Amino acid sequence: MAPAVTIGAVAGGCLLTAAWNPGDDGVAICASKSVLGIDCPFCGGMRSVNALTRGDWAAAADHNVVLAVVLPLVAVGLLVWLWRSWRDRPTPFPWPRSAAGSLALGTLVVVLLIAFTVARNVGGPAWVDWLGSSTWTG
């Protein structure tokens, strides 16, 4: 039952985001973008989810490339969880079971998110500017 409820909640959130349509007008609803003028690691996330629900991966990646890559993988993981639970098979645990392994993985994720935040806020070549949560022009 847990995978079905989780998938239902995630799908409901995605459908609400698609119905609301945060738009590609570049209006910042993120506190860090509004107050500090910088993109946090999740800036452009709602527009990215909206673009993914429309099947436009390029626009989703333009808004937030990390979410555009991670969210489809999460969706596949949820479907695997649902399928395995229907078959009464245990689902493989996706992260380390030890405290040290969990701490190392958590630290790695935080460091990567900080690096992504810094990279998307510095000026530079076009590929660096592309990391920002700019509006989609394609």
34-45: pLDDT as tens digits: 778 788 888 888
Instruction: Quote the pTM value.
Output: 0.76
**Spatial distance between the Cα atoms of 55 and 60, rounded to a whole number of angstroms:** 9
What is the structure's pLDDT at 108? 94
Higher-pLDDT residue of 128, 71: 71
Mean of the pLDDT values across residues 105-134?
Answer: 83
Higher-pLDDT residue of 111, 86: 111
**Spatial distance between the Cα atoms of 127 and 15, rounded to a whole number of angstroms:** 31
Q: How confident is the model at residue 111 (pLDDT cuts 50, 70, 90)?
A: very high
Mean of the pLDDT values across residues 48-71?
Answer: 89
Neighbours of 31 (CB within 10 A): 10
**Residue 45 and residue 67 in contact, taking contact as beta carbons nearer than 8 Å:** yes
Higher-pLDDT residue of 1, 58: 58
Higher-pLDDT residue of 134, 119: 119
